[in-house]
Amino acid sequence: MATQAIAAIQPDLSDAALAALTAQLAERAEDYDRAPRFPQENFDLLARKGLIGLTVDPRLGGQGAGFVEALRVLGAVAKGEPSTALILFMTYAFHAAPDRNARWPGSLYEKLAHEAVAGGGLIGTFRVEPELGTPVRGGLPKAIARRVGDGPNASWLLSGEKIYSTGSTGLDWFAVFARTDEPTPRLGLFLVDPRSEGIEIVPEWDHLGMRATVSHKVVFRDTPVPAGHDVDLREPEEWVPRPGTNQTALYWNALALATIYDGVARAARDWLAHYLNHRVPSNLGAALSTLPRVQEKFGEIEGLLHTNRVLITSAAQAIDDGQAPDATEINLVKHLANANAIRAVEIGLELTGNPGISRNNPLERHYRDVLCSRIHSPQADTVLVAAGRRGFSQK
């Protein structure tokens, strides 16, 4: 699947090393966009650099990276090739969750942790379904796990469909959100080996941008799930976040998505700066970057990206310091950062005109990629309604 296991490596997280990583990943970004496929070469590179197990606990061989450090790496990856970053973020978030050992069988979790440290073990959670949509908005999944046998050695047969399954064709593990067939159904994750029987990947992902995420439909037809791989089953109400409970998954979702699309906008900004510095119209006799109006608009881009850096970094540092913002605030960071990223790339299109939307230039690809920020949960309406309600309640 994703990578061949290699010995654990001490990663170089210096600014120079991350800039070099961005440049290496950017070399293949256009190819992945034009001929979408799982970015295998990129994950081989990340494995060689020891970056896949970055958030794994040090006692299991990882770096135990917090939000600030992990988001620096994720931002560098996203600036080079954002689909790779979106797939990587799922593995980072998985190992960053502090309750993982408490809810998962210890030996099974440690197996996945050691795989990540060795350069593999990519895992993705499949939650969205054709009928239900995302479970964030409520409802029970149609995907069902039927028990086979009794007692602690009972296994399961999993059936159902999952769509928008990021990383589908290259992951080492699927964590599938499903309900049980018990009289009172429980909800939870079933850890599935992609090589298991009864799995079909339907290649239907053909979207505007982020095309190398290969977020295809995955169909399970009585797919066997071994005993002990029913890794996190709870009563339905236990999946509803409550004040005071750990919300690491929510923090990761918001800040990783903000970081990834900010990375896209920064790649667009860098290309635009080069273009404006070297575009010399014959009637002007000087580069476009010398015009005050162009400098003003480019300064607007700089302001938007500076705001993003402050929003994301301050929130990440607060979480690392044990002073995490609440759910409403952290989701506002995601919403604002993504809106700023989109606007930053739009300004680039305004400054370039036709060249900006030509497929000969990467700005067109960056714009398509950054627009995909709008589709991730929680979406703008959910975020803003929550912020509005809280604002009214405080007056």
Q: Which of 197, 232, 230, 203 is nearest to 218 (CA)?
A: 203
**pLDDT value for 222:** 98
pLDDT at 102 over 80: no
How many CB atoms neighbour CB 198 within 10 A?
A: 14
pLDDT band, very low/low/confident/very high, at 5 (cuts 50, 70, 90): very low
Q: Would you state the pLDDT for residue 4?
A: 45
**Is pLDDT above 50 for 7?**
no
Q: Which CATH superfamily is domain 248-393 in?
A: Butyryl-CoA Dehydrogenase, subunit A, domain 3 (1.20.140.10)
Task: Decide if pLDDT at 365 tops 80.
Answer: yes
With b for 16 or more beta-carbon neighbours within 10 A and e for fewer, the 44-62 pattern comes to ebbbebbbbbbbbbeebbb
In this structure, of 9-13, 161-165, 264-268, the range with the lowest mean pLDDT score is 9-13
- Residues 32/85, Cβ–Cβ less than 8 Å: no
Per-residue pLDDT at 101: 56
Both tokens of 392, joined, read 């009214």
Q: Are 52 and 46 in contact (CB under 8 A)?
A: yes
Quickly state the pLDDT bin for 6 (edges 50, 70, 90): very low
CATH topology of domain 15-121: Butyryl-Coa Dehydrogenase, subunit A; domain 1 (1.10.540)
- Mean pLDDT along residues 121-136: 84
Q: What is the pLDDT of residues 261-304, one digit of tens each?
A: 999 999 999 999 999 999 999 888 899 999 999 999 999 999 99
Q: What is the mean pLDDT of residues 156-163?
A: 97
Asked whether the predicted pLDDT for residue 260 surpasses 90, the reply is yes
Q: Write out the DSSP string of 320-389.
A: HTT----HHHHHHHHHHHHHHHHHHHHHHHHHH-GGGGSTTSHHHHHHHHHHGGGGSSSPHHHHHHHHHH
Q: Tell me the per-residue pLDDT of 188-246, one tens digit each, with 9 for 90 and over.
A: 999 999 999 999 999 999 999 999 999 999 999 999 999 999 988 888 877 776 655 56
Report residue 74 as tokens: 């994720």
Domain spans in the chain, listed from the N-terminal domain onward: 15-121, 125-239, 248-393
Q: Which CATH architecture has domain 125-239?
A: Beta Barrel (2.40)
Instruction: Report residue 154's pLDDT band, with 50, 70 and 90 as the boundaries.
Output: confident
Mean pLDDT of the 150-154 span: 81
pLDDT of 391 > 60? The answer is yes
Amino acid residing at 129: E
Q: Tell me how far apart the alpha carbons of residues 363 and 271 are, in angstroms, rounded to a whole number.
A: 7
Strands (E), the chain: 123-126, 144-148, 155-165, 173-180, 187-192, 199-202, 216-225, 230-234
Q: What is the pLDDT of residues 313-344, one digit of tens each?
A: 999 999 999 999 999 999 999 999 999 999 99
Under a CB-based contact definition with an 8 Å cutoff, are residues 101 and 113 in contact? no
The reply to whether domains 15-121 and 125-239 share a CATH topology is no
Q: How many helices (H) and strands (E) does the chain have?
A: 12, 8
Report the pLDDT value the prediction gives residue 232, as an integer from 0 to 100: 85
- For the chain, the average pLDDT equals 92
Radius of gyration of the chain from Cα atoms? 22
Residue 73 predicted with pLDDT over 80:
yes
What per-residue confidence (pLDDT) applies to 56? Answer: 95
Asked whether residue 98 carries a pLDDT value surpassing 70, the answer given is no
pLDDT beyond 60 at 91: yes
Q: Given this model, what pLDDT does residue 151 score?
A: 77
